[in-house]
C-alpha cells in the first residue's frame, strides 16, 4: 500500500502541548516494529512537489495485516490532523511473462550455440535457472533498497481501438514486454524497480515503485521507457509522486511540525 497525506495545519496548530512529539514517538515505534527487509515493512517519506506532505510505503504478507498496519499508522496521529491525498493497494506477484526453462533452453541453443548435451550448456542452464529463482523471490518478497528518493505512479495498459493490449496474443505481448524489460535493466545500480499488480484491486492495473539515489536517474528511465512500444502505444499513466526518504525525526524537522 502507498499512502499520501497532507497535514491539516489549522488542526496541528492547536494540538495540546507535547502532542506533536508524542505523535512522532508513536510513529517511530510503529516503524521500528515493521523495519524488516520485506514483509512487514513501513517506510516514511516527505513528498516533494506539494501534492502531499507525508508519504508511506507499506508491505505486509496479507490483507488483514496490511489493513491493521494502515490503521495503526493513522492512529499515530491526532484525529483530524491528516487528510488523505491518494492511496493505492496492490499485490506482489509473478508476471506471466517470466522467462521459462524452455525459453532458457532456446536461448542457449539458438543464441549461444550450445549443445544440450554439453557441460557448458548444463552450467549456463543452471545459472539461468538460479537467476530466474532469485527474480521470482524478489518479485514476491521484495527487499527494496533504502535509497534517498522514491517515485510512485500507477499505470494501466490501453484498451482503445487498435491499441488494445488485451487483444494481442500472448506471444506478441511477451515479446514486447521482453524489450521493455531490457530497457529497465540498463538502469541496474541506479534505479531499483518494483511492479505490483492491482487489476480488480484499485483504479489502475499496476503500481510502479522506483528507488534511486538521485532524481535524474528516475527522470531518465521514465523518459527512455516512453520510446518503448509498450509505453508509447499501450501505456496509460496516473499521477506521479516524488518523495524523499526521511525517518520520522527528520520528517518532523522538514515539515516543521
Report yes or no: 147 and 192 within 8 Å, Cβ to Cβ: yes
Report yes or no: 90 and 196 within 8 Å, Cβ to Cβ: yes
Catalytic residue among 45, 88, 153, 187: 153
The DSSP code sequence of 19-87 is HHHHHHHHHHHHHHHTB-SSSSEEEEEEEESSS-SEEEEEE-SSHHHHHHHHHHHHHTS-TTSEEEEEE
**Distances 43 to 38, 101, 149, 172, 192 between C-alpha atoms, Å:** 11, 36, 12, 38, 16
Q: Pick from 34, 61, 35, 33: which is nearest to 141 by CA?
A: 61
Q: Is 252 helix (H, G, I), strand (E, B) or coil?
A: helix
The DSSP code sequence of 107-148 is IIIIIS---TTSHHHHHHHHHHHHHHHHHHHHHHS------S
Report yes or no: 141 and 135 within 8 Å, Cβ to Cβ: no
Report yes or no: 117 and 31 within 8 Å, Cβ to Cβ: no
45 counts as catalytic: no
Q: Which residues are catalytic?
A: 153
Amino acid at each position: 500500500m502507498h499512502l499520501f497525506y497532507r497535514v491539516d495545519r489549522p488542526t496541528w496548530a492547536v494540538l495540546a502541548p507535547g502532542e506533536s512529539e508524542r505523535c512522532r514517538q508513536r510513529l517511530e515505534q510503529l516503524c521500528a516494529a515493521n523495519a524488516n527487509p520485506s514483509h512487514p515493512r513501513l517506510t516514511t517519506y516527505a513528498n516533494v512537489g506539494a501534492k502531499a506532505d507525508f508519504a508511506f510505503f507499506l508491505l505486509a504478507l496479507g490483507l488483514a495485516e496490511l489493513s491493521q498496519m494502515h490503521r495503526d499508522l493513522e492512529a499515530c496521529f491526532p484525529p483530524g490532523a491528516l487528510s488523505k491525498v491518494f492511496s493505492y493497494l496492490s499485490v506482489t506477484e509473478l508476471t506471466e511473462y517470466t522467462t521459462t526453462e524452455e525459453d532458457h533452453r532456446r536461448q542457449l541453443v539458438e543464441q549461444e550455440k550450445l549443445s544440450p548435451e554439453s557441460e557448458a550448456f548444463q552450467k549456463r542452464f543452471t545459472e539461468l535457472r538460479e537467476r530466474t529463482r532469485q527474480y521470482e523471490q524478489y518479485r514476491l518478497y521484495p527487499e527494496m533498497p533504502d535509497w534517498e528518493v522514491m517515485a510512485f505512479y500507477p499505470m494501466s495498459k490501453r484498451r482503445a481501438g487498435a491499441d488494445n493490449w488485451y487483444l494481442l496474443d500472448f506471444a506478441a505481448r511477451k515479446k514486447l514486454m521482453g524489450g521493455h524489460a531490457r530497457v529497465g535493466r540498463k538502469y541496474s545500480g541506479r534505479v531499483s524497480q518494483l511492479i505490483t499488480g492491482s487489476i480488480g484491486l484499485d483504479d489502475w492495473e499496476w503500481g510502479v515503485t522506483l528507488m534511486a539515489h538521485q532524481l535524474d536517474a528516475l527522470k531518465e528511465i521514465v523518459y527512455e521507457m516512453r520510446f518503448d512500444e509498450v509505453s508509447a502505444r499501450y501505456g496509460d499513466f496516473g499521477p506521479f509522486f516524488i518523495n524523499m526518504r526521511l525517518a520520522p525525526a527528520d520528517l518532523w524537522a522538514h515539515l516543521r511540525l
